[in-house]
Structure 1
Amino acid sequence: MSFFSVGFTVKGGPLSNNYSSATVDEPKLSPHWVTGFADAESSFSLKVSKSSTTRSGWNVIPEFQITLHSRDLLLLRKIHTFFGIGIVGEREDRNQVYYSVQSARAIVNVIIPHFDRYPLITQKRADYLLFKQAVNLLIQGQSRSSFEGIRDILSLKGSMNKGLSDTLKLHFPDILLFPRPVVGEQGIQDPSWLTGFVDGEGFFYVKSLKNKRYSSGFNLTMVFSIPQHVRDEALLTKFIDYLGCGRIERAPTRPEIVNFSVSKFSNIKEKVIPFFQSCSLHGIKRMDYLDFVKVAKIVEIKGHLTPEGINKINSLKSGMNSSRMYN
């Protein structure tokens, strides 16, 4: 029996290629989704600059930020609404939009309680824990009131993200870095976390290669993938158990990247597509998913073995991911 006919429907009509349709009539963001998306797309940082108005001679601004392509502006506004603090801005020269929270008080009152209750599970959690300690020091006024206070914050900053800049190393050559927290293996607590993570890091795409051995003239493969830095390989491995399918792949040219991949059609049909039907994507990636489903419908009835079916698939493929046109 076709899985498309049992509890699985795709609303009819051609999918509009504009981002305004991506979030229409969608449910509110789940806190687990927000954490999953933050695991994929957010950053926790400490901006340090010289200051003539503080006793320490330095000023520190903490920032929680999410930066996306401008096509996902509506999604960013939904995140802004979810937290109820911060600002949404645009970098027109880069086709980027961003959500930013720079108030230490707002971070302590809203951002930290959220991520304490709904924890990050990638290695980004280590940056968050260091960030949290630094913000607590800022609330106590240590970075403004004493040179030792700024050194304590720099000790934390040096273990975050890319560490200290060359300028800060020049001014503080003997900073001892705070030990980076060890993030142990953690499981996925809610399916919405995975949906949020895929909204940020996942891909739905179709590979069609010319091959004379097939009656249609093409060999077609549908792929769902999630690439990550090798430091989160253990987490990617858990996706195999969670979804009941997939494998871990490595690219010889990029040894620092590992990829969770599902390409067996029966797994795409029976596990991947139903998962995202029951736990909806929220961003622009939902449009790629819907086109992915349309391709699967063609493949299920063997349409990909005909020139007409391949033409339809190639037409859908040409509008997915980076090839999609937006108004």
Structure 2
Amino acid sequence: MGFERSYQTNIPSNLKLEKLDPNFLTGLTDAEGCFSIKIGKRTQLEFNITLHSIDDELIKLVHEYFNCGNYRSYANKSVFSVVSIKDMKKIIDHFDNYPLLTDKQADYLLFREGYINKINKVRDIEKYLALSASINWGLSEKLKKEYPNIIPATRPIIEVNPSIHPMWISGFVTGDGSFLIRTTMESNKEYIKYIRPAFEITQHVRSNKLLNLLKNKFNCGNVVNNSDRCDHYGVYNIT
């Protein structure tokens, strides 16, 4: 019987792109983007992409691509965010033209409805609460207590587009893919029995169809269920 370990190392990116491909940006957003409707003293829509600080140059390129919003780097994070309704039109235009492929598209469509409400100056807070209740993790416990009768908006059912652009895959893997070296130790833990490279992507079970599309696209690897919430695509064979 052996014992398996994996090793990862962070290497600063040498990314020197002058402009991001729009499909790459959509793939990156599918992995690391977030659409939210925040309810407080006022209702605010926010779109952001958060990466580790080693990918600071990539976040700068996202900022340059949209030519709006804010870019900031703190602790070990680099963040691009947009909250201005005027600037949000650029975000909406992009994702209307280059749709998300994961279940995050459902978040986007609900977020887009909130944007349209804002443009039309809808002030009914319950409409925004219903949308927010179906996005990401839903309403906070505080808001649930304050508005106990809110019925969450119907979450759209997303069908995965079987035509996956190669640059979307690159963007998605940049955010959610992992390249590792796995080792299997001898039972006495003194010697390495096997060394193998590994490529892995883990997603919510809702993205099972997408992981299988990636498997078919690469024509290798396997998709397995890791838990009641996660599915896992992995490639381990050398040949």
TM-score by length of 1: 0.66
Q: Residue in 1 aligned with 2:43?
A: 60
Q: Map of 1:117-196 to 2, 5 A cutoff?
A: 117-143=97-123, 149-196=124-171
Instruction: Number of aligned residue pairs: give it.
Output: 227
What displacement does 1:201 show? Answer: 0.4
Q: Give the Cα–Cα distance (whole angstroms) in 1 for the partners of residues 44 and 59 of structure 2.
A: 22
What displacement does 1:231 show? Answer: 1.0
Q: Secondary structure at the match of 1:126?
A: helix
CA root-mean-square deviation = 1.7
Q: How far does the alpha carbon of each residue in 1:128-183 deviate from its partner, in whole angstroms, 9 at most, with x for none?
A: 0000000111122212xxxxx21111111111111111222222221122111111
Q: Secondary structure at the match of 1:39?
A: helix
Q: Give the Cα–Cα distance (whole angstroms) in 1 for the partners of residues 160 and 60 of structure 2.
A: 32
Q: Which has the higher contact order (CA 8 A, sep 6+)?
A: 2
Q: Secondary structure at the match of 1:129?
A: helix
Say whether residues 1:231 and 2:211 are aligned partners: no
Q: Is the 8 A contact 1:105 1:139 kept in 2?
A: no
Q: Residue in 2 aligned with 1:257?
A: 230
Q: Give the Cα–Cα distance (whole angstroms) in 2 for the partners of residues 224 and 255 of structure 1.
A: 22
Deviant stretches of 4+, over 6 Å: none
Q: Residue in 1 aligned with 2:66?
A: 83
Q: Give the Cα–Cα distance (whole angstroms) in 2 for the partners of residues 189 and 239 of structure 1.
A: 8
**Amino acid paired to 2:83:** Q
Q: Is the 8 A contact 2:30 2:101 kept in 1?
A: yes
Q: Is the 8 A contact 1:188 1:194 kept in 2?
A: no
Question: Which residue of 33, 40, 50 maps to 1:49?
Answer: 40
Q: Residue in 2 aligned with 1:243?
A: 218
Say whether residues 1:22 and 2:14 are aligned partners: yes
Q: Give the Cα–Cα distance (whole angstroms) in 1 for the partners of residues 238 and 149 of structure 2.
A: 56
**Amino acid paired to 1:133:** E
Q: Secondary structure at the match of 2:229?
A: strand
TM-score by length of 2: 0.89
Q: Give the Cα–Cα distance (whole angstroms) in 2 for the partners of residues 87 and 261 of structure 1.
A: 35
Q: How far does the alpha carbon of each residue in 1:237-256 deviate from its partner, in whole angstroms, 9 at most, with x for none?
A: 111111111111233xx431
What displacement does 1:188 show? Answer: 3.8
Q: Residue in 2 aligned with 1:31?
A: 22
What displacement does 1:88 show? Answer: 0.7
Larger radius of gyration: 1
Q: Map of 1:264-279 to 2, 5 A cutoff?
A: 264-266=237-239
Q: Is the 8 A contact 2:38 2:132 kept in 1?
A: no
Residue 178 to residue 67, structure 1, CA distance change in 2 (3 Å): same
**Amino acid paired to 1:42:** G
Q: Give the Cα–Cα distance (whole angstroms) in 2 for the partners of residues 38 and 117 of structure 1.
A: 14
Q: Is the 8 A contact 2:53 2:73 kept in 1?
A: yes
What displacement does 1:208 show? Answer: 2.1
Q: Give the Cα–Cα distance (whole angstroms) in 1 for the partners of residues 150 and 192 of structure 2.
A: 63
Q: Secondary structure at the match of 1:265?
A: coil
Q: Residue in 2 aligned with 1:198?
A: 173
What displacement does 1:22 show? Answer: 1.7
Q: Is the 8 A contact 1:126 1:181 kept in 2?
A: yes
Q: Map of 1:68-107 to 2, 5 A cutoff?
A: 68-92=51-75, 95-107=76-88
**Amino acid paired to 1:72:** D
Unpaired segments ≥5 residues, structure 2:
1-9
Identity of aligned residues (%): 35
Q: Give the Cα–Cα distance (whole angstroms) in 2 for the partners of residues 185 and 35 of structure 1.
A: 14
